[in-house]
Structure formats: C-alpha cells, structure tokens
Amino acid sequence: MIMNSSMLQLVFATNNQHKVDEMRTAIGNFIGIMGLKESGLNFEIPEPHNTLEKNALEKSRTVYVATGKNCFSEDTGLAVHFLNGEPGVRSARYAGPGSSAAANIDRLLRQMADSRNRDAEFRTVISLILEGNEFIFHGICPGSITRQPRGNAGFGYDPVFVPNGADKTFAEMSPEEKNIFSHRRKAADELVRFLQITHGKN
Ligand code: IMP
C-alpha cells in the first residue's frame, strides 16, 4: 500500500490477512494500516477472556506495550439465536482448540440441524489505543445461517452466513459486496468517524 507521510498510521493487532484486507477496503485511504507481520512483529496474541470487548482490549494493549505505537485490534464473534448466543466469543475454537473453519462450520450446522430458527448476527468490537488513550467501537451484522456451506470467498463462517437484505452468503460475495453489509465495516465506520473528528480530517 502506498502511504502518504501525513496519513495517520495504525498497527492492526492481527495476523489474519483477510481482516487486514477487509479493514483497508472499509477504511479506504484515510488511515494507513499495517498488520503485525507487515510491522515486523512476530507474535500470537491470546484471547483468554469471555467477552469480545475484553479480548479486543487485550490484543491492542499487548501491541501497545510491545511497540508504543498507535494501534487497534478487533474481535469478532458469531452469535446464533437458537444456540443462546453461541459460538460467540468461542467462534474461532468452536470445534476445539486450533480447529479449522471447516470443522467449526461442521459443528455449527450439526448443532443447528433441528432448528428452523436460523437467525444469527456477527458482532465486531474494535479497540483503539491512540496516544495512550483507549476507545471502543462496535459493529453488528444481522443475518441467518444456511443449511449447507455456499461459496469460496472470505474466511471463517462466511460460507454459511447470509446477511439480512441479501440472498448470497458472504463467501459468494466480492469483498466490496461483503463490505456493504459487514459488521467489521460498520465498526470501522465508527472508528473513522471518531478519527475524522479527533484528527480534523474529512
Ligand atoms: P477472531 O475475531 O479472530 O477471534 O474471530 C473469531 C472467529 O470468527 C474465527 O473463527 C473467525 O474465522 C470468525 N470470523 C471473524 N470474522 C468473520 C467474518 O467476517 N466472517 C466469517 N467468520 C468470521
């Protein structure tokens, strides 16, 4: 990415290149974003807590303490109504520690096999640390869980999630289409609005 020197630069506390790409699509040219690998940082950040907020904060604090740089993190969970909000904060490891996206989807579809209620939502929390101060932003995407995976794009639960107002799963959409509906984009919009105010740019 070409960055202009007056642009605000933030380290994005993630090793997930899909998330970096989605954030760049969501945020555009207003802020320069560097993932951990691009920043030369080589560590995995744990997600030990029982809320998205606490995990997001843990990630951004870890990077801030290590680098002293302005940074943000995000934590996302899929909340399924029939499963009382599960897998939620355990979305990444729903089928067990280190489980693949395919295994998580497989478990989800089996857990929901008897359910006609397919309602679910993605929830994203962004934690920003700017000049040592902490801020939180939220984004929600309501939708439903399909009975079979569809599509090859995206990551995680994208093949089984259809956002309200669409008839395709996220995995059947281009990045730009996913961005119209995405929880991550909505949280990113909040982040950008905040930075536009605090940094006086538009
Ligand atoms: P985390 O935010 O990296 O902890 O992600 C939690 C889990 O949700 C992981 O299994 C991700 O693959 C999944 N996930 C996060 N964001 C998305 C998304 O936008 N689409 C589909 N799955 C996602």
Residue 181: CATH number of its domain: 3.90.950.10
Catalytic residue among 75, 106, 114, 167: 75
Cα 23 versus chain centre, distance: 9
Q: Could you tell me whether strands 119-130 and 71-80 are parallel, antiparallel, or unpaired per DSSP bridges?
A: antiparallel
Separation of CA 29 and ligand 1 centre (Å): 24
pLDDT, residue 140, reads: 98
pLDDT of residue 98 exceeding 60: yes
Whether 3 is in a domain gets the answer: no
Instruction: From residue 40, give the alpha-carbon distance in Å to each of 17, 35, 65, 68.
Output: 14, 9, 15, 14
- Alpha carbons within 13 A on the beta-carbon side of 28: 7
Q: Within 6 Å (CB) of ligand 1, which residues are found?
A: 16, 47, 75-78, 91-92, 101, 104, 122, 154-158, 170, 184
Residue nearest to atom 9 of ligand 1 (CA): 92
70: its two tokens:
């302005």
24 domain-assigned: yes
pLDDT at 200: 57
Q: Is residue 97 part of a domain?
A: yes
Residue 196 CA to residue 169 CA, distance in Å, equals 32
Report the share of the chain in percent with pLDDT over 90. Answer: 73
User: Of 30-39, 83-92, 181-190, where does mean pLDDT reach its minimum?
Assistant: 30-39
Inter-residue contact 14 to 92 (CB < 8 Å): no
Stated pTM of the model: 0.91
CA 156 to CA 158: how far, in whole Å? Answer: 6
Q: Specify if 49 maps to a domain.
A: yes
Rounded Cα distance, 159 and 177, in Å:
14
Residue-wise pLDDT tens digits, 140-180: 999 999 999 999 999 999 999 999 999 999 999 999 999 99
pLDDT at 158: 98
Per-residue model confidence as pLDDT tens digits over 28-41: 777 899 999 888 88
User: What mean pLDDT do residues 117-125 have?
Assistant: 98
From the CA of 158, give the closest atom in ligand 1.
Answer: 21
Pairing of strands 8-12, 119-130: unpaired
Containing domain of residue 132, as a range?
8-198
pLDDT, residue 4, reads 53
Q: Does the residue 83 lie in any domain?
A: yes
Confidence check: pLDDT of 43 > 80: no
Residue 73 lies in a domain: yes
Helix axes 17-27, 183-198, angle to 10 degrees: 50
For the question of residue 75 being annotated catalytic, the response is yes
For residues 139 and 192, give the distance between their C-alpha atoms in angstroms, rounded to a whole number. Answer: 13
pLDDT digits (tens, 9 = 90+) for 2-26: 445 568 899 999 988 888 988 888 8
2 part of a folded domain: no
Q: Is residue 150 part of a domain?
A: yes
State the number of CA atoms in the 13 A half-sphere of 166 facing the CB: 23
* C-alpha separations of 81 from 43, 52, 127, 187 in Å: 34, 17, 25, 21
Count of domains forming the chain: 1
| Strand spans (E) along 54-194 | 71-80, 87-88, 119-130, 133-145, 161-163
Of how many residues is the chain composed?
202
Confidence (pLDDT) at 27: 82
